[in-house]
Structures are given as structure tokens and as C-alpha cells.
Amino acid sequence: MENYKKFISDLPYPVLNICSKLANNGFEAYLVGGAVRDMLLHRDNGDNIDYDIATNALPDEIKAIFSKAIYYGNFGTMLIHDNNIKVEITPFRDDAPGRKPDYTFGGNIYTDLSRRDFTINSMAFDIINGQLIDPFGGQQDLKKGVIRCTGSTKRIWEDPLRALRAARFQAQLGFSIDPSTLYALKAHASMLEQISKERIRDEIIKIVTADFNFHGLTTLVVTDLMKYIIPELIEGMGMPHFNKPIDVLEHNLLTCKVVRNTLPLRLAALLHDVGKPRVAVLKEKGLVFPNHHIPSARLAKNILERLRFDNKTIQKVVLLIEHHMFFYSPETPISRARLLVSKLGWDNIYDFVDLRIADRIASGFEHAKGKGLKKLISDLEILKKENSDYKIADLNISGHDLITKLDINPGPQIGEILDKLLEKVIENPELNKKDTLLKLAKKLVKDV
């Protein structure tokens, strides 16, 4: 039998203490779920890990032992927070599998494991006795790198979200999916419509930010699950580029794969060319996609709103996509870099650079940074010394100044003049002096 002493010694004290107290009160206690899987994989999740304990104790009995335990969600789960460690304690269930409001407590650890989604998640560890319980061959599938349903492929569709979990585990672990399980994903893909957008969003976040996101996203495509998540992406399947060796869809997926791993960047990369099919025009050299960044940004906004993403994430993703085709060459004047900073802000400018780099890599360019991008990066370093956001607030003049000094009535004209003054200062920062700006404003008023 494998020696699990090190694994036990590495467990947080609250987990050990909870199992010990349950055992001392005459109950069974097993560590289950991802913690067991990751232990066998020697996978370090840092502090980003929750612990699940399965027991034959009922909720009231758990509460009697742990006064700080609180009822959590459905299915009789009790939650304990101890020193920033989150532990969920759930009684064994003895009813037909599936997500439903009515459930029955009972059974044992084997019936409990039989209800779980995949073999790699259907193992339990008896901490008290140092014993692994693996009735469905989860260890063997871990060694093979395979995601396979527990017992029957119908396990997936007892809760259709499990289909996304299959893709998520593939994206996180780099595993393959067992052929029968893969077939089951495709056979009942439409059942994903039963799942709330919020639950789908949470899985998509985990997929796109995983180390092997291309694997998981490709599975969503080939199983038709993507049709019920982001159908707009599928429009790019088979749509060729005249200047790239891959179609529009694969280019989006590859860009998401290679871009730096932050959620907004990964989402922007995945959706940056989603609007291309809507503007495709066949020319002599092949398909071209004029101004595709505009519909791409609009579609990205619709998609992320539909999936219930937060406004801050949506705004950043849309902003990056709107400007991802911004032109910059070795001959471009530095004023264009000021304009870009004005539009994106310093908080987003280097995300823009990373998106452009990923776009080039996914396009098959020999160099990740072209001459124009290198010039932009160099110019940005120069602009940092100007210590400006290139916004109206940075002007050494205000709307109040225009009203009082030039006798202009309050109204839309004030904003229009300030916008034009900002354009001139972006072109030449030396103009950003109050007297100079007042003179320019006076001329602008006369020209209206």
C-alpha cells in the first residue's frame, strides 16, 4: 500500500481536526473530491483550494460537534471556516443521482462516490486510517491522463454542468477525454440550455484561465457545447484567412492560448476577432475583414453580458478589442502613442501590447514583436516621463475658465472645445499652458 504519511502531514490542521472530531464522536469521515485527486497528482494549488469531507453524520449532528458550522447551499452541506481554510462537510446521500431539491441522506462512502462525475473525482481518503478508497479506477485514469465518467456516461447529464467540468478538468490538467465520455458530451449538448448563465460563466472562467485552455476550448467546439455558450465563435469555423494558415475560429482559440494569463486578456483574446464573419468580403487575394474590430467589440459586449460577467471586466475586454487593430509603424509619430494612451489609459496599455503580441504569434508571424510594436513600446517608455493620462482632466484649463474668460455660455460647446484642445495637446504637449490654451480656445470659438 502506498505511504500517505506525507500527504496527511501536509493537510491543514482544520481538516485533520474536523476528521478527528467526527471519528471521536463515532462518525465516518472521508476527504473527497479535488483535494484527493490533486494529492495523487502531486499538484500544488497553493492557497487556492477547498476541502470536502463526506460523512455519515447528519447536518444537525455536524452542528452539534462544530458550533461554528453553518448551513451551506443545498444537499445538507455544512461549511466551516477556520484560519482561512474552507471545509465543506456533506452527509452521504442515498437517492437517485442528479441535482434536485429533494434528496435522501444515507448510504455509505461507496454509494456516495458512485454518484460523482468522473473517476478521477470519485476517490476518498480515510485520514484516520491512512487509506485510499478507489472503487472506480480513478488512480489508473490519473496515471493515464484520462477523464472518464464514473460508472456510466449518464453521470454527465444528471447535471449538465458536468459537461463543462469535463472540459475544465481537461483545460486544467491537460488530460484527454475518454471516447465514450466525449461522445456523451456531444450526444446531449443541448441540455446545457438548462443551466444558468452564472454557473456556465464560472466554468468558462476556469477554462480560459487554465494552463491547457486550448484543449478545453477545442472540446467545447467539437462536442457542440460551444453552440450553447458562445455560438458567435462557431461562425468562424472553416472561414479561412488569406494571410494565416488557420481559420478564424482557431485563430481566436490560439490567441487565447498564448496570451498572458489574466481573465480580461484571455477573454479579449478569445473574442478579439469574433466579428470577422459578419464583415467578411471576398477579394481576389481571398477573404478580408474590414473594420472587424468594431463588430467584434460589440459582439464581445453582448456575449459577456449574456454570460453575466461583471461590468468592469466587460468594459476592459471591449476596450481592448475596440483598439486591437490600432496601427503603429516605425514611422508613426509619438503623438499617436499619446492618443492610444488617452483612449486606453495606462492601466490598459500594456494589456493592449500583450494582446497584439499574442495576435501576432497566433497569426504565425516569425517575430512576436514587429518593428511597429517595438517602436510603440519604446515610445511608451518616453511618454511615462511626461506623467500624463492625456485626458481632459490633464489640461491646464477647465470648462469654468472657458465660461469666465471667454464669456461662453455653459453647454455642449464647452465639451467640444475641450476635446479639440486635448487633441492639440496630444499632438504637442508644449501647448498645455493656460494662456496658450485660452488663445486656442478663442480661435476655436471664432471658427464655429
Average pLDDT of the chain is: 93
* Residues 198-220: tens digit of each pLDDT: 999 999 999 999 999 999 999 99
The stretches of 259-345 forming alpha helices (DSSP H) are 263-271, 276-279, 293-306, 311-322, 334-344
pLDDT at 374 over 90: yes
pLDDT at 1 over 50: no
> What is the pLDDT at residue 323?
97
Mean pLDDT of 288-299: 97
Q: What share of the chain in percent tops pLDDT 70?
A: 96
Per CATH, domain 5-138 is 3.40.47.10? no
Rounded to whole angstroms, how far apart are CA atoms 119 and 151? 8
Mean pLDDT of 186-206: 96
For the domain spanning 145-229, the CATH number is 1.10.110.30
Q: What's the pLDDT band for 5 if we cut at 50, 70, 90?
A: confident
* Residues 143-181: tens digit of each pLDDT: 999 999 999 999 999 999 999 999 999 999 999 999 999
Mean pLDDT of 29-39: 94
Contact 204, 307 (CB under 8 A): yes
- Give which of 48, 61, 50 is closest to 22, Cα–Cα: 61
> What is the pLDDT at residue 17?
94
CA 314: distance to chain centroid?
A: 12
pLDDT at 125 over 70: yes
Q: What are the domain boundaries of the chain?
A: 5-138, 145-229, 238-390, 392-447
> What is the pLDDT at residue 97?
58
* Residues 405-429: tens digit of each pLDDT: 888 888 888 999 999 999 999 999 9
Mean pLDDT of 250-275: 98
Mean pLDDT of 119-128: 96
> What is the pLDDT at residue 7?
82
Mean pLDDT of 305-334: 97
Contact 406, 398 (CB under 8 A): no
* Residues 80-111: tens digit of each pLDDT: 998 888 999 999 987 655 555 455 787 899 99
- The larger pLDDT score, comparing residue 7 to residue 253, is at 253
